[in-house]
A and B are shown apart, each in its own frame.
Chain A
């Protein structure tokens, strides 16, 4: 789908790109990555991309660096200070106080007070630097190996070196464009270890609560650099799903990734563990929904009755699962994600993420901001 962008990411466009970059801004406009989000009355009604629970609080993130907070089950919301004004695409709180939000420009924000305040930990410029460094290290190491290599290994090593040099050039070109790649999802196992995944095969891991991030992109077999749209964990297995049906699993906390034989060649946008052992759902383009009972090794297609793209899901912990998507679609399962019934929200607007709140309430976020609904998507 984003083949146009893929090409320009490649070497062919190298000269054109550097020409663009050379005509850089002549005056000092603060970059969006350093510009605090503007406070707006419309924050709760403007495009929001994810909502999460943080203990008793709910936190939603969205366009223009908006983060809004509710401590009353979603009845009232307050916009909090955020140091960036790029779109935030995902948020996750592994415990009630520590949470991370990610977004465009490769930005990672951290809160240690349940979402009330946020600091920037990482962004695309740092990501680019770290990838360049990593690529250079690879190149240096291969060069060193080449010096002492046996005759029969030379050809392979030279080929590897060439590949590594290309990777380095790519990384340098990316750096010239700037922090342009968005993160699209974030997942923390605890308040130390977490992953951020995103466009063009972006995947970074931290083991120190976000202080330092390491590129794990080279540990996946994603040569087409497809977008990685979602990351989740079922049991001890991490699963990443993305564009064109790519899917990866890891059973060693991300150190190595196995490519899953995907049941689908369209894009996945979300993953959700149902709560049953090793049961996980993957969903995406045009109402496609799959269920795995072996932590993502094999998948079976579920009938949804909708052709709307499915974007986000929530689990109430007692077998009830809601999946929301484009054009007002809401899928509801009462049996732990075995069967779903579809309803369409009256306004037909798209929703991207959802979460269960107290009582029979759902919080949905999407193109018109936040709405409080029943699990079937009716307005409350």
Chain B
């Protein structure tokens, strides 16, 4: 590295040497090289166009984790539990007992009945005949549909309806406690039994919007519609991913503008942009050839690739401008630039790639995919930026205007660089160090609140103020329901899922769980058995108890909901409704459950954790928290090792790695303060941030060292570093920042989180390397020793 930079800075004065073999091969066969690139790009472009969005649920979860394996093994029996939608039809003014509202509700129920994908037999609303009122009378049960016979919307009918609803036990379930809304509940078919086609979530979600929400909110202005359910969430997510295309265009435009302002040369702007676009095309094409799709996480890699491509491209443009200013023709300037930048460029990119590869430690497919995609991207950049870019530039050169601007800017910027060079001054450096220590202390203090997992209520994938989450808030606050569910699966021999022995144990466990902080309620066959036993004893609360008479148990669960028992009674779930899905809650509840499983061992049954969204999140959190430290350690070990090998100096390692570590600490503090947890989306950011951030330090330090070797005092050497490499580094930081900052506006919460954190890390790593590195060097590097 130091040699490479030595050569880079010296080359302008040395004149035209022969260069390396590779350089000669490349630059003497330029048409062939360009032809090959053209062909390959066309090939990869075709493949890239074939790439499919891949929102597979399984890739997002740690498949090796026992919770997940248990869940997947019992998937068929658990299916009934999940896939449904709830549509809350709310009245804006007054209550639900009015003719117009009831008419709209009836129409919505009918509309849903005919919507493809809905399991009609399970459809439930005040208007469906399966929603009934029941009353215990002297002669037994009496009941009927809640909509009274001969309903005509008149006051008498509405009063009867109100009475029936009160007697139906649906208040809090299908009818809100405040009588200002009711729910239409529709279970969905995962596979349409008629067409055998899997449910198209995007299409279904769009139909819900058009045929239900828009249509009936338009028809009855006194009505507001809230829709939740897995299908709606996935639909919204898929819609959110498509916003990425817009971000890509904005990023492209921003970068273009920024580059042009910087270079004032159309060629100097177009070539890096096009080269980087080629890199993205290659990366996507190769991904597709390797059989990968684009999931909501790896869809961000092209942005990174583009940004890295631009930042390296800028350095080439910069070099060429310098060479042309020295009077070399475009070809020679390109060759000299190649010669100067090939080695440090490759080193920097390789260290990026290794940084990414530490992500492979995390046993979650989507993160591994991200590592692979980013790794491919960086490898591609090595080829496109270091070969295609200079070769293209060797034809075009830079415009005169661009060269002039480069010179002019050089002069005008010198003043500010001069000021910045005081960072290496002996009286400023200690202040910097103190500030850094203070910053680190503050960061460590705030970092204490850093949490694992998703912290927001509702669907964590979407923003808190997204329509889905607002709908979710509405439904949760008006109905007795929770969005966070942990499912414990209980396996027995066939026909043994409802023995007194097991039910008794479940009953005890449920009460213990209900007494665990964070648990809202629990449900199982036991709850059903108690409820029905009470009902069969004339509704007397004195019978709300599990009977030890198995015949009574069996008759009490005969009509249990299908989700609570499988067909041969060999699996029954215990459902734990949680107050939230914060990591601490999940951990506490999972620990309690694990203790309980140990407390009540038996050969007759097996309790298995854990399905439901909370089970998946608990498993993911366990994997993440275990992987986090390993990943941090390995990424820092790799980076330190690379620096040590390159510079053969502990001082260099400290100078380069300390600013990174400070950024990591501050980043975690920022996460804690912004309420962003360490999760599938944010863990990779730490590795990406460190991997890319180390480039700055490497570039700055190698240049600084080169200048020191020339015998300059530290501050002067640093000034010389700033006006060449420093400039490139600050530009790189800004381009990378621009590349990711558009994600902050993604409708998908985790993409926004990634955007915020990467933006912060790219900018702070740059600041750290420009500000803290020279201060550290003041104390650690002996200029005389280096020069000698």
Contact = CB atoms under 8 A, between A and B. Distances in A.
Interface of A: 1-2, 4-5, 8, 13, 16-17, 20, 23-27, 29, 32, 35, 38, 40-42, 47, 49, 63-64, 85-87, 89, 104-105, 177-180, 182, 184, 227, 229, 243, 264-267, 269, 285-286, 307, 309, 311, 326-327, 348, 350, 352, 366-367
Which 10 residue pairs are nearest across A and B when measured between Cβ atoms? A266-B138, A8-B551, A20-B550, A87-B545, A180-B549, A25-B501, A89-B542, A180-B548, A104-B545, A177-B549
A323 to B, nearest CB: 15
User: Which residue among A25, A41, A85, A184 has the maximum number of chain B CB atoms within 10 Å of its CB?
Assistant: A25
Interface of A is mostly: loop
Nearest to B501: A25
Interface in B484-521: 499, 501, 504-505, 508, 511-512, 514-515
A311 B540 contact: yes
A286 B544 CA distance: 19
B427 interface: no
A26 B551 contact: no
B551 A16 contact: yes
Contacts of B537: 1-2, 227
B250 interface: no
Contact of B603 (A27, A49, A366): A27
A38 B541 contact: no
B539 interface: yes
A177 B548 contact: yes
Given A25-B501, A29-B600, A38-B511, A184 B548 contact: no
Nearest to A183: B542
Contacts of B539: 309, 326
B504 A182 contact: no
A5 B548 contact: no
B649 interface: no
B547 interface: yes
B601 interface: yes
Nearest to A350: B541
A49 B544 CA distance: 10
A49 B545 CA distance: 12
A366 B540 CA distance: 11
A309 B542 CA distance: 13
Interface string B106-135: 000000000000000000000000000001
A88 to B, nearest CB: 10
A32 B136 CA distance: 30
Given A20-B551, A25-B501, A86 B545 contact: yes
A5 B545 contact: no
B551 A311 contact: no
B551 A29 contact: no
B552 interface: yes
B137 A266 contact: yes
Given A1-B140, A29-B504, A352 B542 contact: yes
B552 A285 contact: no
Nearest to B171: A348
16 contacts: A1-B140, A1-B536, A2-B536, A5-B536, A5-B555, A16-B551, A47-B541, A64-B511, A178-B549, A180-B552, A264-B138, A266-B137, A285-B538, A286-B138, A309-B539, A348-B171
Interface in B527-547: 536-545, 547
B580 to A, nearest CB: 19
B515 A42 contact: yes
A2 B601 CA distance: 34
Nearest to A327: B166
B426 interface: no
B536 A285 contact: no
Nearest to A288: B138
Given A180-B548, A182-B543, A366-B541, A40 B515 contact: yes
Residue from the set A1, A327, A352 with the largest chain B CB neighbour count within 10 Å: A1
A47 B166 CA distance: 21
Contacts of B505: 29
A269 B537 CA distance: 11
B604 interface: yes
Contact of A4 (B171, B515, B536, B601): B536
A4 B556 CA distance: 10
Given A5-B555, A179-B548, A286-B138, A269 B602 contact: no
Contact of A180 (B138, B536, B547, B603): B547
A289 to B, nearest CB: 14
B253 to A, nearest CB: 59
Given A2-B537, A27-B603, A29-B600, A63 B551 contact: no
A322 B600 CA distance: 45
Most chain-A CB neighbours within 10 Å: which of B501, B537, B540, B602?
B540
Given A1-B536, A38-B511, A266-B137, A49 B542 contact: yes
Contacts of B140: 1
A131 B246 CA distance: 82
B178 to A, nearest CB: 12
A32 B503 CA distance: 12
Greatest chain A CB density within 10 A among B135, B166, B544, B548 is at B548
B545 A352 contact: no
A266 B539 CA distance: 13
Contacts of A229: 540, 542
A352 B542 CA distance: 8
A41 B515 CA distance: 8
Nearest to A64: B511
A25 B602 contact: yes
Interface in B642-664: none
B138 A182 contact: no
A20 B539 CA distance: 27
A8 B552 contact: yes
B93 to A, nearest CB: 23
A285 B542 contact: no
A285 B501 CA distance: 33
Interface in B591-616: 600-604
Interface string B688-728: 00000000000000000000000000000000000000000
A27 B555 CA distance: 26
